[in-house]
A and B are shown apart, each in its own frame.
Chain A
Amino acid sequence: MGTTTILDIIGAMIIGGILITTLFRANENAISNNYNFVYELGTQYQLVSIAQQIERDFKRLGYCANPDLVPDPTTTIRLADTSSISFLLDFNLDGVVDSVRYFIGPKSEASATKNPNDRYLYRIINGNSSGALKFLVTTFRLNYFDALGNPIASPVAVRGTIAYMEISVAVESPDAFNLQFSTAFWRQLRLASRNLSNR
C-alpha cells in the first residue's frame, strides 16, 4: 500500500464523513421540520375547533327554545371570573334550561404531555363532570365589559351588567422536537350574546 493509496483512503474518509454528517444533519432537519409542520397543523386545527365550540356556546348564551323560561337576561350568567364562567343555556334546544360551565384546570392534570404549559379547558353541562368536554390549552382568559364598553372587575359581582366578553385562547402542541412547541392564539375582542340584551 503506497502513500497514494493511504491518501485516497484518508480523503475518502473525510469526504465520506462530511457526506454522512451532512446526511445526519439533513435527516435531523427533516425530522424537526416534519414534527414542527405536523404539530403546527394539529395546533391550528385544535384552535379552530376550540374557537368554534366556544363561539357556538357563548353566542347562544341565555337562549332557550321556550323563551318564557329565561325571562330575565340579567340572571343568565351565574358566575364570571377571568378563568371560568357559568351560564344558562338550552344546550340541547329542547326547551329545557341547562347550566353550562367553562373553567380551566391546573397544569398538573396534563402531566402526560411533554408540554409543561398546557392544561385542560373543561366544559361541563348541568354539573355532569363525567360527560365533560375538555381541550388542551395553555391560556383561557375572560374579560368582561358593560353596555358602555367599560371593563368590569373580575370576579364580576353583578353579572347582569355584563354586555360583552373578550375571550382569549392559546394552544400549544402537546409534544415537540427539541421542546420547540407550536403555538396558536385566538382572541374574540367583543363577543356579545344577543340574548343578554333581550326584552
Chain B
Amino acid sequence: MFGKASLIIVLGFSTIFFTLNSNYLRYTTDATQGYTDYYSDINASNIANSGANIACNYVFLNPSWNAGLSNISYSGGTLNVTITTLPKDRVKITSIGVSFGISKTVEVIIQPTSYSKFGNFYNKMSAAPATGDTLDGPVHTNDFLIVHGNPVFLGKTPSKKGIKKLINPSNPVFVGGYQSGVNVPHSYDPDYLKNISLAGGKTFVGVGAKSFVDVDITFNADATVTYKARYGKNKTTWDAWSAPVTTPLNILAPNGVIYIDKGNVTMRGTLSGQATVVTSKRGGDGMGMINIDNDIVYKNDPRSDPASTDMLGLVSEQSVNVTYNAARGNINIHASIYAQNEGLKIDRYGDYPTIKNMNIFGGIVANDLYPTAVYSGLNPTKGYRFIHKYDKRFLSAAPPKFPTTGTYEVISWLE
C-alpha cells in the first residue's frame, strides 16, 4: 500500500515538474526568439543600407552607372539594388536586404550638387570672417576655413584643410555642423553652357575678326528684357552699340540661358522669371566679366512671397564686379553668383566717400574672397558693407542650368 502511494506521489510530482519545466523552457525560448527576430530585422536593415551605400558610391564615381546589383551575398544575407532615373536629373536607388527570411528596403534619392546651393563657397580664402559676421546658408572652402574671433556659420560648413584661427581665442559657431577633409572641385564647363544656350537660349558671339562682344542687359519687371550689343577686335576697340531691343525673356531665351561668348555683360533691373547669364573669357583679355551697375532684384521677393519662382544665376569665367558709382548709394543683388577665376569685387571700393550696403540675397561661389570696404579698426568707412542673406530655395532648386560640382548629394533616405 505504502509503496503504491509513494509511486503515485513521485509520478504525480514528476508530471507536474515536467509540465512546469516545459512551460518555463518555452517562455525562455520565446523571450530569446524576440531578440533573434530583432537581430534578423537589424541585419536585414544593415544589408539594405550597405547596398544603398555601395550603389551611391558607384553613382558618385560614374554618374551613368545604372546596372544595379543582383543577388549579392552579403553579411549572412543577400542584397539587390535597382537604379531608376527621376526628373530633375535625380536618381533613385532601391536597395533590398534579406536576412533569415526578413526583407528590408532602403530607398535613396540623389541629385547632382548645384553650386547654387552654397551660400558662400571659396576655393581659397584671402580674407577671414570675423566676430560679428554671420554667414548664411551652406559654406565651403577648399582652403583652411580662416576665422578671426567668433563668426557664426548658420549652414553646414565643410572645409578641405581644417580651421585656421587668426587670433586666440577664436570660437567659431557652427550651427549646421562642421566637417574637415572635404574637397569640392571649383570648375564649370563653358562649352556645355554654350551648347545649352545654342539649343534653346540666347547666345551672343562675335563675328569674324571682331570676336569680342560686349552686352548690356536690363531685366524689366514685365518679364521682358532690353538688350543691346557691340562687337570688337579687342577690349578697347568696339563698334557702336546696336539699337536696344526689348523682348519677352521666355522668347529671348526659352531655356533661360543667356550666354556671352568671349565677352562681358553689364546688367541691372528687375527680373520676372528665371535666367542664368553666362560670360566666357576664351582667352580674350579683359573678357569673361559680369558687371552690375545698379540694383538687380526679383520682381517677387521670395522672402515676402514664398511662392515666387523668380531666380537668377550669374556665371562668370573671370569675375563679377559692382561698377564704381559714387552717387549710387546702397545696392541690392538677388542672385546666385559664380566666378571661376576671381570672385565678387567692388570696383575702386577705396574711392567711395562713405560706406554703403551691398545687400546680397542668394549665394557667392568664387575662387577667392575679396575685400569690399576700407576699414578703420573694426569699422568699415569706405566702399560697401557685405550683407549677405541666403536664398533657401537654392537648397532644392537652382537657376536654369547653373553649374554643378560634378558630384551627387543625397536628398532623401528612407529606411
Contacts and interface: CB of A to CB of B under 8 A. Distances in A.
Interface of A: 26, 30, 33-34, 37-38, 40-41, 44-45, 48, 51-52, 59-60, 63-65, 67-68, 71-74, 93, 146-148, 158, 160-161, 163, 193-195, 197-199
Contacts of B30: 41
B371 to A, nearest CB: 29
A33 B34 CA distance: 20
Nearest to B397: A68
B177 A147 contact: yes
B131 to A, nearest CB: 18
A44 B31 contact: yes
A188 to B, nearest CB: 10
A6 to B, nearest CB: 19
A90 to B, nearest CB: 9
20 contacts: A26-B13, A37-B28, A38-B27, A40-B27, A45-B31, A52-B41, A60-B415, A63-B412, A67-B109, A67-B412, A68-B397, A71-B392, A71-B395, A74-B156, A148-B178, A160-B177, A198-B411, A198-B412, A199-B117, A199-B411
Contact of B35 (A26, A44, A194): A44
Interface of B: 13, 16, 20, 23-24, 27-28, 30-31, 34-35, 37-38, 41, 109, 117, 138, 154-156, 174-179, 392-393, 395-397, 409-415
Nearest to B9: A19
Contacts of A34: 20, 23
Nearest to A147: B177
Contacts of A45: 31, 34
B280 to A, nearest CB: 29
A184 to B, nearest CB: 9
Nearest to A75: B392
Nearest to B174: A161
A148 B414 CA distance: 24
Given A68-B397, A194-B410, A199 B175 contact: no
Contact of B176 (A40, A44, A93, A160): A160
A199 B414 contact: no
A194 B37 contact: no
Contacts of A74: 154-156, 175-176
Contacts of A44: 31, 34-35
B177 A146 contact: yes
A185 B28 CA distance: 17
A48 B13 CA distance: 36
Contacts of B176: 74, 160-161
Contacts of A148: 178
B396 A52 contact: no
A41 B395 CA distance: 48
Nearest to B49: A194
A163 B24 contact: no
Given A37-B28, A44-B35, A147-B178, A72 B392 contact: yes
Contact of A194 (B174, B177, B413): B413
Contacts of B411: 67, 198-199
Contacts of B16: 26, 30
Contact of B27 (A37, A68, A194): A37
Given A37-B24, A40-B27, A199-B117, A60 B414 contact: yes
Interface centre among A52, A65, A194, A195 (most CB of B within 10 A): A194
B412 A195 contact: yes
